[in-house]
Homo-oligomer: A and B are copies of this chain.
Amino acid sequence: MTALTTAWVEDLTTALGPDAVRTDPDVTVAYARDQALMAEAGTPAAVVFPGSTGDVVAVMELASRHGVPVVPRGAGSGLVGASNAVDGGITMVLTRMDAVLEVSAADRLAVVQPGVVNKALRDAVAAAGLFYPPDPASYDWCTLGGNLAMNSGGLCCVKYGVTTDYVLGLEVVLADGRVLRTGRRTVKGVAGYDLTRLFVGSEGTLGVITEATLALRPAPATDPVTLVATFATSAQTGQVVESVVTSGVVPSMLEVMDRTCIRAVDDMLRADLDRDAQALLVARSDAGGAAALAEIAELTRLCEAAGADLVHSTADPAEGDLLLAARRAALPALERLGSVLLDDVAVPRSRVATFIDGCDAISSQYGLVIGVMGHAGDGNMHPTIVFDATDADQRARALEAFDAILELGLSLGGTITGEHGVGTLKADWLAREIGPVSADVHRSIKDALDPAGILNPGKVVRRRG
């Protein structure tokens, strides 16, 4: 540690107390990166654990004064390196700020600190007959602060949207330590610019979210009806997705996995899946009672019309959860085959089949296993490249296949990220998707809010050249 570093670490310790500031290498290494394989990461000089907004203010004031970069993070469940550490900087871990400050049934909202685990909020509001929909796969350990920073999605999005659709207001500590409040407690409000949604999804590059007011929904029916269908071609699968869109039925879930995933899951779970199917769809309705049965009946008709080999549905929640478990097992099943590089491309719903076929072609071209799973109902696909991370050639081919998938997504009118974010992993691709004018507008906003560039540098927006 340099003398300069020692000076500001001492200041930090004075401000937050010794328990909240750690510089030992086992700690700094443990907080250096998220779940993204192959994303750049440095090593923080210090890891801080603020316990209050006041602590966050103290950190940002001090970091501003000393020109030290600050990387905010939660549980580290991210998938693009957005909370990866910067060498010599401060990594600010917000997991100690984990209070659900309020649940109001009368105004159907909750007020939370950023360290609350997604599932903890879901459980807290369920007790009041309410529902917080965004459900990233890591919902039982990821934090809401991370969900907000990344604008996380999940399986619910086809019916219920993403994190930003549930954010009424925020408390944000700015780069210079000032505390900004955005938004409101009311359902509607148009007083000034939509700063709330500017901060949501900005990946910690514009401010540190220290509190959020979240809209809730009435709890859905507790008797979901679940459908599974298999298809001999991805074209048939795509036809179902498209016909669901045009039918007007909005399932609460419409998930897909391809043959590679089906076989990997069947190998792991011995679930007696159709190993020759090209694709498997899992759909669910939470409309309740007769409405749910009617929705699933319509989905059954659409699957059959597309030529499904098998369509099965069940109103038994336990059996439904088993069907869903196969889909949820897709990623762990692929992880048994090697290292995985998980991509995240959203395409227009009419292009889902073309995208799956394109990923197959990329798999052949680069000689790598690529399993495609995803949220078919909203076009958000997760092609997952399996490779041997100890083999330099395979690593290189995996990265090339990763890029080819992004290229394919853009060529179909899609986006390089539907829900995982940009982080360090896709910062160059972001510039390509949004073009020079938008990149310049991004930089202007970043410079306006964080002129010294200390907030999560290198993520999302690259500095002006």
Q: Which residues of A contact B (CB under 8 A)?
A: 104-108, 129, 150-151, 153, 157-158, 162, 164-165, 174, 178-182, 184-195, 197-198, 200-202, 206, 218-219, 242, 245-250, 290-291, 346-350, 375, 378-380, 413-422, 426, 430, 433-435, 437-438, 441-442, 444-445, 447-449, 460-461
A344: min CB distance to chain B, Å? 9
Say how far A107's CB is from chain B's closest CB, in angstroms. Answer: 5
Q: How far is the CA of A38 from the CA of B395 in the complex (A)?
A: 67
Give complex CA distance A434, B193 in Å. 10
Check A181–B435 contact: CB distance below 8 A: yes
Bound CA–CA A164/B164 (angstroms)? 11
Q: Are A195 and B438 in contact (CB under 8 A)?
A: yes
Contact present for B413 and A185 (CB under 8 Å): yes
Interface centre among A158, A445, A460 (most CB of B within 10 A): A445
* Contact (Cβ within 8 A) A180 B449: no
The listed residue with most B CB atoms (<10 A of its CB), out of A164, A165, A189, A247, is A189
User: Is the beta-carbon distance between A187 and B378 smaller than 8 angstroms?
Assistant: yes
Neighbouring B residues of A162 by C-beta, 8 Å: 188, 190
Q: List 6 A-B contacts (CB under 8 A).
A: A186-B347, A188-B378, A190-B422, A198-B445, A218-B247, A219-B248
Contacts of A350 in B (CB 8 A): 104, 106-107
Tell which of A162, A164, A190 has the most Cβ of chain B within 10 Å. Answer: A190
Specify which of B105, B182, B379, B438 is in contact with A192 (CB 8 Å cutoff). B438
Q: How far is the CB of A15 from chain B (nearest CB, A)?
A: 21
> Would you call A349 and B193 a contact (CB within 8 A)?
no
Report the Cα distance A375→B188, complex, angstroms. Answer: 10
Q: Could you tell me the distance between the alpha carbons of A388 and B92 in the complex, rounded to whole angstroms?
A: 59
Q: A106-B350, A190-B422, A192-B460 are in contact. Are A184 and B442 (CB under 8 A)?
A: no
Residue contact B198 to A198, C-beta cutoff 8 Å: yes
List the B residue with the shortest CB-CB distance to A206.
Answer: B193
